[in-house]
Structure 1
């Protein structure tokens, strides 16, 4: 498969993470009801467990599954982070960056096919966790083969990611790990929101292969939660159904772009070589951040690292103060401090987490999944995007 085709195929994997609910810029919103509900979820799972999925089907898991296939790297990452990675027996090739993935069967399809139903069936899983990018036809084929499949709704914001983590724990019998993960994630959100309080919102633009996320997308939610203004939201652009738009140099030339956000999945040079980009404040003052491709592109627990790194780049002193304050307030309990230093099975702790590449800071390694974010728009705008 050529690099271009690989890019297009992987781009499909962010379709489910769009249409975000935007957090107010420059201020810290109170924890949402959804986040509070997730963080107070039961620690002891009970079965049978039933929930209605994205296909409108009430899915019942009779007992804690011993073998799980994940169809989408976000689901696989979530399983690892909640401590349930040991029950994963199959995943798509885009989850290969995760620890333990070398022991999972590759259930990706050939060519442009995202999933091979035959490979999934061959694993005889107790449960399949399918991201919303998996077609309903594929889900139906697996169900007709006697497999229990839960298809997730689109992750439209951090709130919905928190809900998804909690739900995953209930589906696979890892409620305690899911609850701890949600509490850790909420702590990270609280820190960046507090750091943004009273700050002037930087004007940021995320560009990936000529596309940018609109105001109602998951990536825009990450940007605004960290305290910036998504400049794409102020532009007169034609957004695809997925929420992304092509952005041409003429539009950029008329923007004030103080920070340029890029994706590690795009090869060098990542900054477009045109006067419109080269003359931005961001490029002139070396204010660019290369976001970790796996974390920004997957609506899963590690997306909080993206917000953290952006906050540290924009408000370093305020972030340090907010981090100490929030974690100090949580020190009477164990959830915040434990979760951030443990990072469940196969995960990364704060100490060994690769940081995003930001001017003026040490460059960090980035697993190569960055061909997801804006390229969903490339596919949609080109008329070839389809959920497979």
Structure 2
């Protein structure tokens, strides 16, 4: 079971490899243009196919866990008529009736997708070149295959595209704004911090090296990735001798392994293990190229750089509070300058009951947008 999980992670993210981050916790620019929902939507996907969606979809099938994650994060889950349901999407709380996969919870069944007759099918780049895509298109379905992400900006771009394809641009814009803000807090955390060496244990001695999705996440979190430092490219087994020699200060591993990382007896002699400096990350957020990757990064940052992260979070919250207060004051001032509809009801010139109510509504709206 564990071996199959490791193979799945490598398979699922192999075509979503991120370019390595720069030393010192280099951050990708995730500033995106605002999504624009106009139909018909027309765009060229990763296969070179021009995909046209004539009207805003009412029915969407997400072929991969990351596709389903994005749909949920932009508030479009009610449009889902099919998605993988199983251990890789448990965190989404989806109904079993939506499942379109084999027993492995990740391999789509062609007939299941066709039978649901969706308005559009979303396919993560892990399925690019798969016969399934051609089969679905031959059946008359519109399938959009997303391009391979090569940075955190790539994840953001897929969020924007998904919003435009399914007609949920407001939700996509909100998700992108939160994604960027959280990454900015992480950047503020690590910019002046030293980067300790960390070993990412995937199980059975496998680790992630240079050019992998996980290498990007690890280095963005302000630590050096032992796999990359040891010259490993992609996902591969690393000898325990190399791990012991490099002597990492931290060990990162998937939380599904339990309270301790699944390392060999020899690796138990490293500084990280002796000092119990472990970071257990959410397996799905660490492997699926969706907006929740930021939570995996935050888990690492909060453990490795706790004081700097707490300070950065406090500063971000203070700035948000100040911005909310300023917005509320501006709204109240604008309302105060509007002429009253009925002078007799305006007991305080320029700021009657309607203006007070409008100001309160504005404040509540601002607070409601905060997560």
TM class by shorter chain equals 0.7 to 0.9
Which one of the candidate residues 16, 22, 25 is aligned to 1:24? 22
C-alpha contact (below 8 Å) 2:85/2:94 kept by paired residues: no
The count of aligned residue pairs is 328
Which string of whole-angstrom CA distances, capped at 9 and with x for unpartnered residues, describes residues 104-148 of structure 1? 422113679812111110111111111122243210100000000
Change (3 A) 1:286 1:100: closer
Root mean square deviation, CA, Å: 2.5
1:321: Cα distance to partner? 1.4
Which one of the candidate residues 292, 297, 301 is aligned to 1:307? 297
1:268: Cα distance to partner? 7.2
Distance in 1 of aligned mates of 2:104 and 2:298: 36
C-alpha contact (below 8 Å) 2:74/2:175 kept by paired residues: yes
1:250: Cα distance to partner? 1.6
1:40-55 mapped onto 2 (5 Å cutoff): 40-42=33-35, 44-55=36-47
Which one of the candidate residues 247, 264, 274 is aligned to 2:255? 264
Name the structure 2 match of 1:369. Answer: none
Q: Does 1:212 find its partner at 2:207?
A: yes
Q: Does 1:121 find its partner at 2:98?
A: no
Q: TM-score, normalised by structure 1?
A: 0.78
C-alpha contact (below 8 Å) 2:60/2:82 kept by paired residues: yes
* Structure (1/2) with the larger helix percentage: 2
Q: Give the 3-state SS of the residue equivalent to 1:323 in structure 2.
A: helix
Which one of the candidate residues 171, 195, 217 is aligned to 1:201? 195
Structure 1: which 5+ residue stretches go unaligned? 342-388
Distance in 1 of aligned mates of 2:166 and 2:281: 30
Distance in 2 of aligned mates of 1:106 and 1:184: 29
Name the structure 1 match of 2:124. Answer: 131
Change (3 A) 1:189 1:339: farther
C-alpha contact (below 8 Å) 2:198/2:226 kept by paired residues: yes
Change (3 A) 1:290 1:3: closer
Name the structure 2 match of 1:236. Answer: 231
Q: Does 1:72 find its partner at 2:72?
A: no
1:58-207 mapped onto 2 (5 Å cutoff): 58-94=50-86, 95-102=88-95, 104-109=97-102, 114-134=107-127, 135-207=129-201
Distance in 2 of aligned mates of 1:174 and 1:140: 27
1:170: Cα distance to partner? 0.7
Q: Give the 3-state SS of the residue equivalent to 1:261 in structure 2.
A: strand
Distance in 1 of aligned mates of 2:121 and 2:132: 12
Higher mean alpha-carbon deviation, 169-178 vs 113-122, is at 113-122
With CA pairs under 8 Å and 6+ residues apart, which has the higher RCO, 1 or 2?
1
Distance in 1 of aligned mates of 2:193 and 2:272: 18
Q: TM-score, normalised by structure 2?
A: 0.81
Which string of whole-angstrom CA distances, capped at 9 and with x for unpartnered residues, describes residues 282-314 of structure 1? 101110111111111111121111111211111
Change (3 A) 1:113 1:326: closer
Q: Give the 3-state SS of the residue equivalent to 2:207 in structure 1.
A: strand
C-alpha contact (below 8 Å) 1:15/1:132 kept by paired residues: no
Which one of the candidate residues 210, 221, 226 is aligned to 2:221? 226
Which string of whole-angstrom CA distances, capped at 9 and with x for unpartnered residues, describes residues 232-283 of structure 1? 111133x3xxx212111121121130000011234676331321x1111110
Q: Give the 3-state SS of the residue equivalent to 1:79 in structure 2.
A: helix
Q: Give the 3-state SS of the residue equivalent to 1:128 in structure 2.
A: strand
Structure 2: which 5+ residue stretches go unaligned? 328-364
Distance in 2 of aligned mates of 1:169 and 1:24: 30
Q: Give the 3-state SS of the residue equivalent to 2:186 in structure 1.
A: helix
C-alpha contact (below 8 Å) 1:72/1:91 kept by paired residues: yes
